[in-house]
Amino acid sequence: MTAAILAARLRWPGNRGPDPLDVATAPPAGAGPRARDVGELCAQFAGVCESAVDPLEICCALEFEGWSDKAVRDAYGAADVFSLAEQMYLRVPRRPAEPEPPPDPWQLATVRPALHGLLYGLPTVCFPAAAGLLTGPGVVALLIVVSLVSWAISQSLAYLGYLRLGQADPAPAALLLRAGLTAGLAGVLLAAAAAGQVLPVRLPAEFFAAGLGGYMLGATVLIVLGAERLLLAAAAPGVLGAAAFLLLGRPAWGTDPAWAALAATPLLALTLAAVCATRAAGDAGPGRGKHAGHRAPGRPPAKRHGGALVTGAELRGALPSAGFGLVAAGLFTFPVAAGMPGHASAGLLVSLPLAMSMGAAEWMLIWFRRRTQRLLRSTSEPGAFAAGARLALLAALLAYLGVTAVLTASIAAVAAGTRLGHPDATVLPQVAAYLAVGGAMFSALLLQAFGSRVVPLACCAVALAAEAACRGAGVTAQLVACTLLLIGLAGYAAVVLGRATRHAC
């Protein structure tokens, strides 16, 4: 341990005794021998002596303050500085000062999760407005097909983007996101065109479906790059236009302005995502741009990928994310696609609160991370940690379900007050089933945050298959399947996240 480190330790708050910089140092040259008590020096260096694990630490501190072998012989009769340090080490009992708590890597934010909740939820206002514009058979099936494709692509693109951000500088991640945006948009357009050829839909419906998928891709890129404000600006035209169209009672003269506002949002989202990714990539050239050849202090060097934009291993790693996006979208859309009674109105009722609840889900995920990190530092028994972590998991899940229920009730009240909808008690079973899906998605996202991705995917796939097999039972099958999915994922999370090794990061 160097003298500089010891000097810093002597200045820690909480050390006992006076600051060594304020006490007398070695006697001046030429001074005669003095009989001094070693206890005085122990009191002066109490902070060092109490926290020292070896006499060498005290020896270094004495030398740093100017005590030489001759000085300690003249003042205390010790053979040398090390001998005096040994005496001090034996005299003072070990009472090390508590170290300063480490910085909290999971700071609870309020604005960012709330903004994410708005960004997830506000675009759903466009669906009631578009319902009056999109008429004819096959429209619902078209929207479901495009939603499934765009959810799968968006989930895998987000996985790859965050993976690269964790491995290297922002430039390689931005290059990958920009290429994924282009490829994903091509996939969405292909899916919309193929579905349009099979289903009896009109061209405006195909345009709306393609815009829906394009918005999801652009939003994914902007959120991964941390450009939420740009996404809010992109969503503004469609949200404001749709809200105005609904509040005015869907007038015939407002049809064209509403279509223009709805079309502006996906175009803005795609354009801003491409511009933001290009800027982050340094205009897309190896060795060019502000990120080329530079990495932030403390960040490990960028991993090399052999010149490939994405490796086969990374694509294989993204498959569970793509599959989860597919089955999650299926759980939300299957009851509507199967034509179950009451699910169209219930789906419209809960789509906005469920989307907005993702902001609360993000906040609760961070809260759970923070709570378990504190348990790691304060708990030494594995059993006590498991109990505390499971209690925190239960609190997070109940808080999420409570927020979602309040949001659902608020949206229902607004819909009834503005006569945009007529919710009644008959939709309560369907709403309860969708809330169970929301709780299951929260548990699945929590598991994915801790590296468990295969089990949530398998459980959601089984639940979706059970709904499809028992669709003749109506809402009862959906409610039972979604409730069992929630219980299964929450129970599995309680087992997995009760292990301290899962949180050592």
pLDDT at 244: 84
The closest alpha carbon to 187, from 164, 169, 213, belongs to 213
**CB of 295 closer than 8 Å to CB of 169:** yes
102 in the Ramachandran plot: left (φ > 0), alpha (ψ -120 to 50) or beta? beta
Does residue 131 lie in a domain region?
yes
Please tell me whether residues 237 and 352 are part of one structural domain: no
**Distances from the Cα of 264 to the Cαs of 39, 183, 482, in angstroms?**
80, 21, 36
Closest CA to 488 of 459, 465, 462: 459
Indicate if 87 and 128 belong to the same structural domain: no
DSSP letter string over 258-289? HHHHHHHHHHHHHHHHHHHHHHHTTTT-TT-S
What are the angstrom distances between the C-alpha of 336 and each of 357, 431, 481? 21, 13, 16
Q: Are residues 390 and 488 in the same domain?
A: yes
Shared domain for 230 and 269, answered yes or no, is yes
* 34 vs 434: CA distance, rounded Å: 85
pLDDT reported for residue 34? 43
Q: Is there a domain that residue 176 lies in?
A: yes
Alpha-carbon gap, residue 231 to 119, rounded angstroms? 7
- Give a yes or no: residue 358 inside a domain: yes
* 8-state DSSP, 498: T
Q: Are residues 134 and 263 in the same domain?
A: yes
Residue 185 to residues 9, 213, 498, Cα–Cα distance (Å): 57, 8, 41
All residue ranges of the chain with pLDDT < 50 are: 1-35, 283-304
Residue 308 lies in a domain: no
User: Is 329 part of any domain?
Assistant: no
10 vs 7: CA distance, rounded Å: 5
pTM of full prediction above 0.75: no
283 with 350, same domain: the answer is no
User: Domain range spanning residue 369?
Assistant: 338-505
Report the alpha-carbon angle 156-162-166, nearest 5: 145
Q: Is the domain of 232 the same as that of 377?
A: no
The total number of structural domains in the chain stands at 3
| pLDDT the model gives residue 36 | 66
Closest CA relative to residue 182, chosen from 274, 92, 109, 260: 274
Q: Which residue has the tokens 């929450």?
A: 490
- Are 67 and 122 in a shared domain? no
Q: Is 502 found in the same domain as 353? A: yes
Domain boundary among 91, 120, 135: 91
Provide φ and ψ at 162, rounded to 5°: -70, -35
Give residue 52's pLDDT. 82
Question: Is 9 part of a structural domain of the chain?
Answer: yes
Is 80 part of any domain? yes
Q: Is 505 exposed, middle or buried (0-12, 13-18, 19+ CB in 10 A)?
A: exposed
How is 107-170 classified by DSSP, letter by letter? ---SHHHHHHHHHHHGGGGHHHHHHTT--STTHHHHHHHHHHHHHHHHHHHHHHHHHHHHHS-H
Give the length of the chain.
Answer: 505
Do 369 and 419 lie in one domain? The reply is: yes
- DSSP designation for 29: T
User: Residue 147 is encoded by which pair of tokens?
Assistant: 């939603």
Judge if 138 and 236 occupy the same domain.
yes
Say whether both 381 and 465 belong to one domain: yes
301 domain-assigned: no
Boundary (domain end) residue, out of 255, 289, 323: 289
Listed residues 63, 91, 119: the one ending a domain: 91
Q: pLDDT at position 398, please?
A: 94
Backbone angles phi, psi at 470, to 5 degrees: -110, 25
